[in-house]
Amino acid sequence: MTPERSMRITGTTRCYPILGHPIAQVRTVPAINAYFAAQEIDAVMVPMEIPPGGIEALLALMRSWSNCGGASVTVPHKQAAFRACDRLTDRARLVGAVNIIRREPDGSLVGDMTDGLAFVEAMGRNGIAVSGRTLLVAGAAGGAGSAIAQALCGAGAARLCLVDPSRERLGLLAGRLAADFPGCRIDEGWPDDARVDVAVNASPVGMRRDDPLPIDLDRLSPGAAVCDVITKPVMTPLLVEAARRGHPIQDGNEMADVQLPFQMRHLGLWADEALAPEGDPT
């Protein structure tokens, strides 16, 4: 980066906190600040470690924080941030969580959830097809899983099999997806009559060394793709075993690395467009 393009914080700089607990592990801060510098956007992203009990007060403060343009939101605040928003995209409403908030000039907060978009974008970059195929999402009732399930339906999946021990939340999600995407067959659980073409782990199972595999690899089609959203470790036991068996794989960093354009678009800071936020949230 040239000196002219390095980040310079002055009194005119707009602030974008990233809210999490813990926060030290986040990978997006350098990438977003490098994007601001490269695009000559007078803005800075700063990590803010906010314990769960403090998030409502911080989000309330954002309404009167005039040089704040919005916030990125990570674990465990995505649901509390959803509740604090004044307006939401349909994506965020289905999932019940937000990972990016735009602050409007009047102080109102507009939330979006980009996990599903980023996941499908990473699949495209890896050449993993969605259209017309049977896909399975483990952890589908969670924040990332619901967003991914919705995005896979939107990308033309023929059949989506949803797996999660939380049966009640899973049933609600299945009902909403079936209503929104009548062209996609929605099943709860593994299919008895078909092989799975793409299996996705969107649960946290695999973060701990002694976790079981969240997906039964014996039930996949030969050559089925296996994807994980976990970023620590990047090579989860599921991906290690899938790769050993010769399955194409996609790791959590590949999804995390493509979140930036979607989040910048929601903030109205994506350089490749007319700086207009996508959609018309209500």
Active-site positions? 78
3-class secondary-structure state, position 125: helix
Which of the ranges 8-16, 60-68, 137-145, 242-250 carries the binding residues for ligand NAD, by CB under 6 A? 137-145
Of residues 157 and 229, the one with the C-beta less far from ligand NAD = 229
DSSP for residue 110: E
CB-based contacts of 2: which residues, under 8 Å, 6+ apart? Answer: none
φ and ψ of 71, to 5 deg? -150, 150
- For the bound state, the minimum distance from the C-beta of residue 81 to ligand NAD, rounded and expressed in Å, comes to 12
> Quick check: 263 binds ligand NAD (CB under 6 A)?
no
> Quick check: 165 binds ligand NAD (CB under 6 A)?
yes
46 touches 59 (CB < 8 A): no
> Quick check: 277 binds ligand NAD (CB under 6 A)?
no
- Helix, strand, coil tally for the chain in percent (to 5): 35, 20, 45
DSSP for residue 52: G
> Quick check: 205 binds ligand NAD (CB under 6 A)?
yes
- Picking from 270, 275, 273, 268, the residue whose alpha carbon sits closest to that of residue 110 is 268
> Quick check: 166 binds ligand NAD (CB under 6 A)?
yes
Of residues 115 and 187, the one with the C-beta less far from ligand NAD = 115
* DSSP H/E element including 260: helix 259-267
Q: Give Cα 2 to chain centroid, integer Å.
A: 32
- For the bound state, the minimum distance from the C-beta of residue 9 to ligand NAD, rounded and expressed in Å, comes to 27
**Footprint of ligand NAD on residues 14-53 (CB under 6 A)?**
none
The structure tokens listed for 212 are 């079981």
Residue nearest to ligand NAD (CB): 142
> Quick check: 123 binds ligand NAD (CB under 6 A)?
no
- Picking from 151, 107, 104, 106, the residue whose alpha carbon sits closest to that of residue 268 is 104
Of residues 37 and 118, the one with the C-beta less far from ligand NAD = 118
> Quick check: 143 binds ligand NAD (CB under 6 A)?
yes
Of residues 104 and 241, the one with the C-beta less far from ligand NAD = 241
The structure tokens listed for 42 are 């007078």
The structure tokens listed for 97 are 């969580």
Which of the ranges 1-9, 82-90, 237-245, 251-259 carries the binding residues for ligand NAD, by CB under 6 A? 251-259
Identify the residue among 80, 102, 103, 115 touching ligand NAD (CB under 6 A).
Answer: 115
59 touches 68 (CB < 8 A): no
> Quick check: 252 binds ligand NAD (CB under 6 A)?
yes
> Quick check: 75 binds ligand NAD (CB under 6 A)?
yes
> Quick check: 145 binds ligand NAD (CB under 6 A)?
yes
**Residue 246 identity:** G
φ and ψ of 238, to 5 deg? -60, -45
How many residues sit in the footprint of ligand NAD (CB under 6 A)?
A: 26
- For the bound state, the minimum distance from the C-beta of residue 124 to ligand NAD, rounded and expressed in Å, comes to 15
Q: Please give the residue ranges that form the binding site for ligand NAD (CB under 6 A).
A: 75, 115, 138-139, 141-145, 163-166, 202-205, 207, 214, 229-231, 252, 255-256, 259
